[in-house]
């Protein structure tokens, strides 16, 4: 298990790079591109999250690098069906093996089990991983600003859009939020957990709210342990929440998702910040 508190993100990125190197030998990029080109059109993530009420991105992961195992018998098909029946807006699938126990093939498994948009959640730094996401059926993926240079973020976004996918661009600071907006991110995730130390701050979204205009989808990530937490984040301005550990530990995942999906509190309005509007890269 990855467990160092010095810089968890660095360890996860290194493990993801090793995983990608191994998979690249087995399946060359050209073959992945053929697979991706044969996939049906991606399902639209932003539209699903903008539906009335709180959008719920329900996450599938057998374990976490800090908490360890989250479920005894990980069955992505059953879990995806339960989340879908509970009213989730989208499904997030961890494909990082060393830290979270997932793999890219889980994307294809989950896609067959649900009609919802599927997000590849991983530590993506390479075009290969983006193409692999589409080849196995992902409709969207996660890009972490703190893991990428501005140039690499722009490059990976362009590859993502070329395949018709969407990206949740994850930020943790005001500067990162400005970078995401400038890159043209349409869905921005505020991760309340600092991936360098795994410390948590649920007030972060309130401080970053004015960095993101109302034309973007704002997703609150990490540290959501109850419907009360989710409602608080909704009132703070979130269009959607991404919830993993709480749902993976739930005795009745369908009911747990439904409790979140039925939150009707309106979000706090987000001001326009014209000087931070997207610009060309």
Pairing of strands 68-69, 63-64: antiparallel
61 flagged as catalytic: yes
- Of the candidates 127, 132, 166, 221, the residue annotated as catalytic is 221
> If you ran DSSP here, which 8-state letter would residue 179 be given?
H
- Of the candidates 11, 59, 245, 254, the residue annotated as catalytic is 59
- Of the candidates 11, 222, 245, 254, the residue annotated as catalytic is 222
Q: Which of 249, 256, 251, 252 is nearest to 241 (CA)?
A: 256
Q: Which of 247, 251, 272 is nearest to 261 (CA)?
A: 247
170 flagged as catalytic: yes
191 flagged as catalytic: yes
Q: Which of 150, 149, 141, 101 is nearest to 123 (CA)?
A: 141
Measured distance CA(212)–CA(206) in Å, rounded: 11
3-class secondary structure, 94:
strand
Residue 200's DSSP bridge partners are 193
59 flagged as catalytic: yes
- Of the candidates 127, 132, 170, 254, the residue annotated as catalytic is 170
Cβ neighbours of residue 71 closer than 8 Å, sequence gap 6 or more: 62, 248, 249
- Of the candidates 64, 89, 114, 191, the residue annotated as catalytic is 191
222 flagged as catalytic: yes
- Of the candidates 61, 64, 89, 132, the residue annotated as catalytic is 61
Which of the residues are catalytic?
59, 61, 121, 170, 191, 221-222
């Amino acid at each position: 298990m990855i467990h160092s508190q010095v810089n968890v993100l660095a360890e996860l990125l290194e493990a993801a790079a090793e995983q990608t190197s191994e998979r690249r030998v087995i399946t060359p990029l050209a073959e992945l591109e053929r697979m991706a080109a044969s996939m049906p059109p991606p399902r639209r993530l932003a539209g699903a999250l903008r539906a009335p009420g709180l959008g719920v991105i329900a996450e599938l992961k057998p374990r976490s690098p800090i908490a360890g195992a989250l479920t005894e018998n990980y069955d992505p098909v059953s879990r995806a069906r339960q989340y879908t029946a509970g009213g989730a807006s989208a499904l997030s699938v961890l494909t990082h093996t060393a830290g979270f126990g997932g793999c890219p093939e889980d994307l294809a498994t989950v896609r067959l089990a649900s009609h919802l948009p599927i997000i590849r959640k991983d530590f993506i730094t390479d075009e290969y991983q983006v193409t692999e996401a589409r080849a196995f059926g992902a409709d969207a993926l996660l890009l972490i600003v703190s893991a990428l240079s501005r140039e690499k973020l722009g490059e990976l976004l362009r590859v993502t859009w070329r395949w018709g996918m969407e990206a949740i661009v994850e930020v943790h600071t005001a500067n990162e939020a400005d970078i995401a907006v400038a890159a043209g991110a349409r869905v921005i995730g505020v991760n309340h957990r600092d991936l360098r130390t795994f410390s948590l701050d649920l007030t972060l979204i309130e401080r970053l709210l004015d960095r993101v205009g109302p034309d973007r989808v704002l997703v609150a990530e990490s540290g959501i342990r109850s419907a009360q937490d989710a409602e608080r984040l909704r009132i703070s301005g979130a269009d959607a929440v991404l919830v993993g550990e709480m749902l993976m530990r739930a005795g009745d995942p369908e009911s747990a998702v439904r409790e979140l999906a039925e939150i009707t509190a309106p979000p706090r309005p987000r001001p326009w910040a014209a000087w931070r509007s997207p610009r060309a890269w």
